[in-house]
Amino acid sequence: MSVYSFQAKLSNGEEISLETYKGKVMLIVNTASKCGFTPQYEGLEKLYETYKDNGFTIVGFPCNQFGGQEPGSNEEISSFCSLNYNVTFPIFQKIDVNGEKAHPLYQYLREKAPEDSDLDKSGSLYKLLRDKMPALLEGSNIRWNFTKFLIDQNGNVVNRFAPTTKPEDIAEDIKKLLVK
């Protein structure tokens, strides 16, 4: 099994198989429009523009499970991304990433990479979660918006990056996979 086993709906409602991205390095990100990490859209778009012609893509999955920071409709989210950050990578419909209603793709991602490889336990996000939302630190839960999963050309999960990881800090990992 790989990420290619899953389907999801783009923001326009079109259902596609992630097999569409077979042979590409992928960065799968749960996003939100009203989050302190929302400016990461800019870095994500820059990564996408830099490497898309070399077999790389980013897929964004809006999620409203973290402080209600993605309240808009799928159309509003898509418009926000385009107008504010010139996002051209695929944005999918809003999904849940934790809990009983978590999208099957995210259940799989959490199983394959249960921990953020670089979660700063002295950082403000960790302290907020520890003090106010400790359940998000349990098990394989997605900790917050902008958790990133790096996927190789065969659909395998390579790494999970914390929400605080800036997109540009993942560039070297992407380049290593693109060389193979």
Catalytic amino acids?
35
Dihedral over Cα of 135, 164, 149, 84: its sign: positive
45: number of Cβ within 10 Å? 18
* DSSP per-residue codes, 41-54: HHHHHHHHHHHGGG
Residue of 117, 2, 16 whose CA lies nearest to 59: 16
Residue 129 vs residues 31, 43, 110, 124, 142: alpha-carbon distances, Å: 18, 24, 18, 9, 11
Residue 117 vs residues 7, 121, 150: alpha-carbon distances, Å: 26, 11, 11
